[in-house]
Structure 1
């Protein structure tokens, strides 16, 4: 069986055909046992198959959790950024004649493009506003008071906290990939050896080979 031409799901299915159908057919067992593939040896192969299926399910779960963490982070960032850009627009009006505030709040700079730039810029904007009573009073006249500004700053910190979650989930996903791939390689070696023996043992019984998913030309 050429694993490289199969998806993982197809590969596991084909391995299941070879192993499970061998265990469930006394004629196949009788033929392959002559070459050392006893029921116990076939059970050992099924154990490798079961472990491979379990590790593949873990792989899918871990990457699902990683995708979910990214999605949650992006949703939280979109909401916080919407609020940030609204306050930024207000500040440009409020401090249009205040060079000191304009510089400290980076009011005339292009919007940040990367996540790191966004965190740095948005945090600095709110921290600088919150540390200046005069600027706070000016923003409050536009329904952007201290509590609201603190709330958005907390939202920004919440978005950044997702980075820790994402790194943890990414590590779990990478470990799941490594463990699954190692077990799949073990399964591939076991099944290829068994398939070669099955072709010899069942050479004159092509219908049994086909029952194992082995195509007979």
Structure 2
């Protein structure tokens, strides 16, 4: 695997933990910022991410997804999310995004289409949610295509720390499956903010362990 394809795979696993099948209420929004420091045999790397979504209309959410993997690679997307089904407990939505991805400063066009399913859950420890996202990405001006399937499980515990588990997978049409497992704890702060602290195990060409720090903000 050449370095550009390896970077593409690593970036494909770097996605926001929120959004999915849920639309933002009109005039309201959500933002998430994250920083990950990971180590692997022979070195270390850091990654920064930013995601924001805003309810532009009752059936339209607009947003931005930014990522930077050290000084090597990254992407910048704008997206629109539309509902397909909005039930009382389960939801289905489609999202389309366009922008660019880069490797060592060389930018090319990127497109992404995502089908998202979300469901609210009731457990003995409180309410929660499950989200499943299936995505098809065209990177490097359509030269690299990647299929993705991600899942998130989380609990709602107002005023208390709450667990969340992220499972992310990515497979290029001409490559091997890569994945990341990230258990996270969410800690409530003031004014609609949450602090996230997690550990990440990633296998994307090489094994790595990472410490992830994030901040969620409703506005």
Q: Bin the TM-score by the shorter chain.
A: under 0.3
Structure having the higher Rg: 1
TM-score normalized with structure 1 length? 0.19
Higher relative contact order (CA 8 A, sep 6+): 1
TM-score normalized with structure 2 length? 0.19
- Bigger strand share: 2
